[in-house]
């Protein structure tokens, strides 16, 4: 590594010597020299040594022109690039550059938590409209669920269908309110100055609110199919998916442990790959919340060991290398921006 840096330094020095002699010759303007320095520096950046062929150069020129056009559009007070993502999102979606990027094939999505990976609109319009969907209210917090249990007792849990009937005249507002439970963009903290702690609280509440839905097998399956579908529509070929492998229950109350959950997903991904040849697969990453005790950590590591074994068997049985390697990872990452980016708001 040091050797590389020394070589790079020597190259810069040699080149600098050349630039200086040109200055002394007085033939190069300041602007030309500046451009030469910037060019040389770009050569050391990511992609600096990538050379485009004729067609790629044409595509590059077209895309750059589109980008320039968008940045210069007069009817905008600010370019989208300088706005908060939530404000810019609708502008981005209407942008011609975005349309091109959307249709381009993408290698992979590498940081994705399953419980934040499907558009909130779909969760509301599809899952909450199913007859089993309920909402549990504990103090001022709300949780989507299908079953009642210790943390969501019967007397604090209502069928969403019933609640929706009570809001017949303002159903859109009701659905909007439901969506705000799992979408940061729609939280009241959005429009006032909020502290990092308040935002973090809201952020984690989105994950807590949807957890119950993902414990119901039919919802779990539909949700993950939708996940693959949404990313495939965006031309993504490969996904690394972080998840906790929580238990799942079917309509009869039968319980599915982490191994069976992994198998459920294996089947879903397999089916999807058969229908969509361009989709390569999913890597599942075991993820636990970083605030855990030593005992919980030990349990998570044991779970990781057994999942890894299962993944190995799944790989040799079906001959699909790279399908299911499982990693344990601390989560959620404090890089909030990255996490906002991955939820389809
Ligand atoms: C629900 O029932 C429990 C006891 O079973 C009680 O403590 C609680 O106050 C009740 N909650 C409501 C909202 O009625
Ligand atoms: C925040 O303000 C914008 C524009 O003023 C509005 O469209 C949006 O609904 C507001 N969001 C919330 C969560 O209050
Ligand atoms: C919900 O999604 C499933 C696919 O998972 C689809 O078959 C069904 O038609 C959708 N229902 C509604 C009401 O959108
Ligand atoms: C971490 O977990 C402990 C025990 O479950 C809990 O009391 C504490 O509030 C948690 N801290 C954070 C920052 O979530």
Half-sphere exposure (Cβ direction) of 92: Cα atoms closer than 13 Å: 13
Q: How far is CA 328 from the centre of its chain?
A: 18
Buried b / exposed e over 138-166, threshold 16 CB at 10 Å, is eeeebbbbbeeeeebeeeebeebeebbee
pLDDT value at 73 more than 90: no
Atom of ligand 1 nearest to the CA of 156: 13
Instruction: Average the pLDDT over 63-90 and give the result.
Output: 81
Report CA(247)–ligand 4 centroid distance (Å): 22
Expressed in angstroms and rounded, the spacing between residue 291 Cα and the centre of ligand 4 is: 6
Query: Is the per-residue pLDDT at 326 higher than 50?
Result: no
- Pocket probe for ligand 2: among 190, 192, 194, the residue whose CB has the most ligand atoms within 8 Å is 190
E-assigned strands of the chain?
Answer: 106-113, 134-138, 141-145, 157-159, 236-243, 248-249, 255-256, 281-289, 327-331
3-state secondary structure of 113: strand
What pLDDT digit, counting tens, does each position of 169-219 carry? Answer: 999 999 999 999 999 999 988 888 889 999 999 999 999 999 999 999 999
pLDDT confidence bin for 311, thresholds 50/70/90: low
Better pLDDT: 147 or 317 = 147
Q: What is the mean pLDDT of residues 63-80?
A: 79
Q: Would you place residue 328 in the very low, low, confident or very high pLDDT band (cuts 50, 70, 90)? A: very low
Confidence (pLDDT) at 1: 45
Q: How high is the pLDDT of residue 236?
A: 94
Higher pLDDT, 317 or 24: 24
pLDDT, tens digit, 9 for 90 and up, residues 109-165: 999 999 999 999 999 999 999 999 999 999 999 999 999 888 899 999 999 999 999
| Closest C-alpha to 187, from 334, 198, 197 | 198
pLDDT cut 90: percent of the chain above it: 56
Tell me what the mean pLDDT of segment 307-333 comes to.
48
Q: How confident is the model at residue 327 (pLDDT cuts 50, 70, 90)?
A: very low
d(CA 156, CA 171): 22
- Residue-wise DSSP of 134-179: EEEEETTEEEEESS-BTTB-GGGEEEHHHHHHHTGGGHHHHHHHHH
> From CA 279, how far away is CA 268, in angstroms rounded?
13
| 156 CA → ligand 1 middle, Å | 7
At 329, is the pLDDT very low, low, confident or very high (cuts 50, 70, 90)?
Answer: very low
228-246, pLDDT tens digit by residue?
Answer: 999 999 999 999 999 999 9
Contacts of 9 (CB under 8 A, 6+ apart): none
Q: Which atom of ligand 2 is nearest to the CA of 191?
A: 1
Q: Check pocket membership of 188 for ligand 2, CB cut-off 6 A.
A: yes
Query: In the predicted model, is pLDDT for residue 268 greater than 90?
Result: yes
**Dihedral angle, C-alpha 48, 53, 56, 61, nearest 10 °:** 70
Q: Which numbered atom of ligand 3 lies nearest the CA of 129?
A: 13
pTM (predicted TM-score)? 0.78
Note the pLDDT of residue 133.
98
- The pLDDT confidence band at residue 17, using thresholds 50, 70 and 90, is low
Distance 45 CA to ligand 4 centre (A): 42
Of 239, 259, 269, the C-alpha closest to 312 is: 259
Please tell me the predicted confidence (pLDDT) of residue 2.
52
In whole angstroms, what is the distance from residue 290 CA to residue 298 CA?
Answer: 13
Closest C-alpha residue for ligand 3 atom 5: 222
SS3 78: coil
């Amino acid at each position: 590594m040091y050797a590389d840096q020394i070589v790079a330094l020597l190259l810069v020095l040699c080149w600098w010597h050349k630039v200086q002699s040109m200055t002394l010759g007085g033939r190069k303007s300041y602007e030309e020299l500046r451009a030469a320095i910037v060019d040389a520096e770009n050569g050391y950046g990511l992609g600096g040594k990538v050379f485009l062929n004729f067609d790629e150069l044409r595509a590059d020129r077209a895309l750059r022109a589109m980008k320039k056009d968008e940045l210069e559009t007069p009817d905008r007070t600010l370019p989208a690039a300088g706005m908060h993502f939530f404000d810019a999102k609708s502008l981005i979606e209407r942008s011609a550059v975005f349309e091109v990027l959307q249709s381009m094939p993408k290698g992979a999505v590498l940081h994705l938590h399953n419980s934040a990976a499907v558009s909130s609109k779909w969760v509301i319009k599809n899952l909450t409209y199913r007859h089993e969907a309920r909402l549990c209210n504990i103090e001022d917090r709300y949780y989507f669920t299908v079953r009642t249990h210790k943390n969501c007792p019967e007397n604090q849990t209502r069928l969403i269908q019933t609640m929706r009937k009570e809001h017949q005249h303002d159903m859109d507002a009701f659905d909007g309110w439901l969506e705000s439970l799992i979408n940061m963009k729609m939280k009241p903290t959005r429009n006032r100055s909020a502290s990092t702690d308040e935002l973090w609280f809201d952020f984690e509440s989105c994950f807590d609110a949807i957890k119950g839905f993902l414990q119901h097998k039919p919802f779990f399956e539909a949700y993950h199919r939708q996940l693959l579908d949404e990313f495939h529509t965006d031309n993504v070929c490969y996904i690394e998916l972080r998840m906790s492998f929580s238990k799942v229950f079917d309509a009869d109350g039968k319980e599915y442990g982490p191994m069976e959950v992994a198998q459920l997903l294996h089947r879903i991904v397999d089916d999807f790959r058969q229908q969509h040849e361009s989709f390569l697969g999913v890597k599942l990453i075991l993820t636990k919340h970083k605030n855990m005790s030593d005992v919980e950590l030990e349990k998570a590591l044991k779970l990781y060991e057994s999942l890894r074994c299962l993944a190995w068997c799944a790989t040799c049985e079906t001959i699909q290398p790279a399908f299911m390697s499982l990693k344990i990872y601390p989560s959620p990452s404090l890089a909030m921006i990255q996490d906002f980016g991955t939820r389809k708001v």
